[in-house]
Every structure is written in structure tokens, then in C-alpha cells.
Amino acid sequence: MPFARFDRYVERHAAAYVERLQALCRMPSVAARGTGMRAMAETVEQSMQRIGAGTRSFKIGSGYPIIYGEFGAGSHCYIVYSHYDVQPVGQLTAWSSGPFAAAVRDGKLYARGAANSKGDLVARLAAVEAYQKTFGKLPVCLRFIVEGEDGLGSPSLYQFTAEHPEMLRADGCIWDDGYKDTKERLLLSLGFKGITFLELRAYGARTDLHSKWGGIVPNPAWNLVQALSTIVSPKGVITIDGFSSHVAPIADEDAKSLKQLEIDEAGLKREFKINHWVRGMTGRALTKELIFGPTCTICGIQTGHTEAGAKTVLPGMAVARLDFRLVPDLSPALVVSLLRAHLDARGFEDVEVNEIASAPFVKSSIGSSVARAAIESATEVYGASPIVYPLDPASGPIGAVCGVTLPPTPLVSFGVSYAGSNQHAPDENIRLEDFMQGIKYFGRLIHRLAQIAKDDRRESSTMESFVQFKIEKS
């Protein structure tokens, strides 16, 4: 067991790691509020320097700095992407303890940012430190890129990566979006859907009118409803002209991965309090739709008067927000232009389409070195093979990191949180046991990446066996 010494070291320092995480969680760094951002950025940089990183801080315009830290050396280089800002705390009264108290109760650390993503950042840096203490210098090069604008749509990151593509040339990228599911299985994601978040606006009279005019004054709410009703069928199928022809067929290796995945249908239905899935789907069809189906979701509609009291108005404006989750080969720009043409062709030229935020999909192969290393390193720590999502139904700014260079940098993503982590919600928390496992896992991942780098010349011949890793079924 080459990791016995590593694990002992990690366990001996468990208290110190938790304290480090608590220290970070006690520093508010809510990007949306701008509170404590500079102090947090400096602390992150110092945390990396203290364990031997060469660091740089990149400030783009008036944005929050991106902290860059480099460890180790070797022929192969991997990016570790994370962020140091946290979500707003929301309703303070909904928290059992202060969101920045970082209280530990029943083996869980409660704090805004504990799960998303300070727990991961601290665990990964702890693993690097423990690795250095027990094995010596890292056998691969790790480049940490830690931004501070996750809660703002990562504008600095997009600009940074566009301006410094050379810093993103790497053999793989490791992100920290991921968790253990309700069945305690570690999830690994090899890609993320893209997203385009749009606002549709329809206009009528200059202001809300008395609804007695309803028969003769154009109602933007009706116009918007009619326009929307042409975009998705009553059965929930996206019906935008030409849309489906851009959905790429599912690759063989992904079809193979899909067969080994299964959604906890009964558990999720209980959690969501729903009694059926869209189109009555179940089993394989349901999983396939979740992973490889593009989506078009009405995220919100607002028009007219909807507060208390019977106010009968004819609205002057109607707004809908839609998000599309994009699978290969749908790009945000393509979807916006297809939607525009679709609406125009049906007489809805007057319905505005405004792009609010977008991110491309990212998708990499299960045969990449990061994917293989992540899959192979998991069992020893987690006692079972991880669940591999060829494409995660969620989205993120990861395209800015992986998609800038060509070919795209292979990706794997996972994290120390669990199904009850309440990310973005009150009582965000992680379990300290998951945190410790995360440190041990990341140490093994570093090791395995170095081995794979050594074996690189033999990679093509061994590929097949890597693809056929076993995914535990539920």
C-alpha cells in the first residue's frame, strides 16, 4: 500500500485541515455583495505559497483577482479549476447557525461556501501538501486557477482565459463541481451541458391599461404566450425549426456509459413530490433524456398584476426567461439565431430575444488521462467505482478553461459535497468524512496521473481496458 504513509499523515493532520477550512469559511466572500473579496483572494494566494506554489494574481479591470498557483513539474500538466467566492447567504433566519460561523455539528461543517467550493479547494491543497510531505515533489505539474466571480457569471475568467491561452494548454483539467448522490456514490462528470439564458419581451401599450380594452388593444401577455407555445410542444419536445438536426448522435462510448447509469427515480420523485416524469419516461429513456437531451425551460414569466387583490389590468409588457441546456453540437449563438428565425417565421418579429448569459458545452472522452486517473483512483478510497456522467445536466464556466485551446482540454469533475449539502441554500454544509476522503482521493489522483504520464507511450494499446471499467449498478 504505497498510500499508507500518506493516509496516516492526512489523518494526523485532520484537525488542522478542518481548522483551515473553517478559517476560510469564516471569511465572507460573497461576490454579489463584494464583501471581503480582496482578503479572501490574498488568503488563497498565501495558502498556496505556504505549501510551495509559485503564484500570480491576475486582476482583469475592476474584477476580483484570479489566483494562479503552480506546483510540481513533469512532462504532464493538469489544471485544477476552482473559485473562492460564495453565493449570497439568503434568509439569515433560515440558517441553524451563522452562515460564516463555520460551526461543526454531528460531523458536518455548516457554512456558506463549505460545499461550493471552499471544501474542495482546501482538500485539494491539503492533498498536495500531504503528497509533498510523504512522497516529495509532485511528479506532475498542477496549475491551480481559482477565480472569484463564480456568482457573477465569471466575466474575469472568460477574459483571462482568452488573453492567456498558453496558461491553459494542459493535458487535463480537474473541476470541483460534483458530489456523492443519495446512494452515497461518488459522481464523476466528464462534461457539462452548455447553457444560453434568454429573456423574451413583448410590448403592448405604454403602460398597463384597464382591462376593458382587452378586446381591441394588443396584449403582450397573449403575444408572449402564443410565441412560447410554438417553441416547446405540449409533450415537452423542443419544436424550434432546425433545432433537433443540430443534436449530435450519441457516441458509442457514451452509449456504453449511459447503459451503466441509472437515476434513482423513486427517490427523486419523492424528493420533488412529482408523480411522473415528462412524457411518462422511465428507465433508460429517462436517463438518456437527462444526460443527452437538450432542454428549454421557462425559468420565469412576469407580466401584469399578480399580487394580492383583484386588479384587472391589460399588461403593457410581458417578460419570460428561458434557459436552454445545450448538448453537442448546439452552441448558444446557434440556438439564439434558430429561435429568432423560428419566431420571425411565425409572425412574432415583435417579440424581443435578449441573451443574458451563455456558456458552451464541454465534453471529453472517458479515455482521457484525467478521466482514467479519476476513475481508477476512486475505488480504494470510496470502496466502489464512481458513477460516471459522460455529460452533466448542469452547466458552468468550465468551457472558459477547457474550451479555449484546441483540441479542448479533457475534463473530469467531482467534489467533496453530498446530496444534502444545500448548495445555494441555507445550512450549506459538507460532511467532514467526505472532506477527508476528498484529500485522500486527490492524493491518489496525483499519483495515478504521474503513472499514466509515464505509461503515455503505451496508452493507445491499453485504451480498451480503461474504457471497460465497471460502474456499479443500483
Q: Which is nearer to its own copies, 51 or 247 (CB)?
A: 247
Do 87 and 421 form a contact (C-beta atoms < 8 A)?
A: no
Among 323, 376, 428, 434, the residue binding its own copies under the rule CB under 8 A is 323
Instruction: List binders of its own copies among 62-121 (CB under 8 A).
Output: none
> Would the CA dihedral through 288, 294, 296, 297 be positive or negative?
positive
Angle between helical axes of 14-25 and 4-12 (0-180°, round to 10)? 50
Among 299, 333, 341, 345, the residue binding its own copies under the rule CB under 8 A is 299
* 463 forms part of the interface with its own copies (CB under 8 A): no
- Contact stretch for its own copies (CB under 8 A) within 103-111, 166-174, 292-300, 333-341: 292-300
Residue 330 DSSP one-character state: -
- Contact stretch for its own copies (CB under 8 A) within 55-63, 155-163, 319-327, 461-469: 319-327
State the DSSP H helix or E strand holding residue 344, giving kind and residue range, or none if neither: helix 332-345
Instruction: List binders of its own copies among 248-287 (CB under 8 A).
Output: 272-274, 276-278, 281, 286
Minimum distance, C-beta of residue 133 to its own copies, in the bound complex (Å): 39
Q: What is the largest CA-CA distance in the chain?
A: 80
Minimum distance, C-beta of residue 78 to its own copies, in the bound complex (Å): 26
Closest CA to 189 of 472, 399, 388, 416: 388
Q: Is 229 exposed, middle or buried (0-12, 13-18, 19+ CB in 10 A)?
A: exposed
Q: Which is nearer to its own copies, 325 or 431 (CB)?
A: 325
* 243 forms part of the interface with its own copies (CB under 8 A): no
Among 14, 51, 60, 217, the residue binding its own copies under the rule CB under 8 A is 217
Q: Which is nearer to its own copies, 14 or 209 (CB)?
A: 209
* 458 forms part of the interface with its own copies (CB under 8 A): no
Q: Which residues contact 224 (CB under 8 A, 6 or more apart)?
A: 200, 201, 202, 301, 303, 318, 319, 320, 351
Q: Which is nearer to its own copies, 21 or 198 (CB)?
A: 198
Cell of 366: 472517458
Among 168, 221, 388, 400, the residue binding its own copies under the rule CB under 8 A is 221
Number of Cβ atoms within 10 Å of the Cβ of 263: 20
- Contact stretch for its own copies (CB under 8 A) within 71-79, 171-179, 306-314, 453-461: 306-314
* 232 forms part of the interface with its own copies (CB under 8 A): yes
Q: Which is nearer to its own copies, 180 or 440 (CB)?
A: 180
Cell of 106: 454531528
Do 9 and 130 form a contact (C-beta atoms < 8 A)?
A: yes
Residue 117 DSSP one-character state: I
Cell of 118: 471552499
* 34 forms part of the interface with its own copies (CB under 8 A): no
Minimum distance, C-beta of residue 295 to its own copies, in the bound complex (Å): 4
- Contact stretch for its own copies (CB under 8 A) within 51-59, 77-85, 101-109, 307-315: 307-315
Helix (H, G, I), strand (E, B) or coil at 265: helix
Among 61, 215, 249, 407, the residue binding its own copies under the rule CB under 8 A is 215
* 219 forms part of the interface with its own copies (CB under 8 A): yes
* 302 forms part of the interface with its own copies (CB under 8 A): yes
Task: Say how far apart CA 112 and CA 438 lie, in whole Å.
Answer: 19
Among 23, 209, 334, 463, the residue binding its own copies under the rule CB under 8 A is 209
* 234 forms part of the interface with its own copies (CB under 8 A): yes
* 195 forms part of the interface with its own copies (CB under 8 A): yes
Q: Which is nearer to its own copies, 147 or 323 (CB)?
A: 323
Q: Which residues contact 157 (CB under 8 A, 6 or more apart)?
A: 66, 145, 147, 149, 397, 400, 401
Task: Say how far apart CA 45 and CA 63 lie, in whole Å.
Answer: 16
Minimum distance, C-beta of residue 154 to its own copies, in the bound complex (Å): 12
* 226 forms part of the interface with its own copies (CB under 8 A): yes
Please report the DSSP string for 13-43 in residue order: THHHHHHHHHHHHTS--BTTTTBTHHHHHHH
> Would the CA dihedral through 377, 378, 384, 389 be positive or negative?
negative
Minimum distance, C-beta of residue 165 to its own copies, in the bound complex (Å): 26
Instruction: List binders of its own copies among 368-427 (CB under 8 A).
Output: 392-395
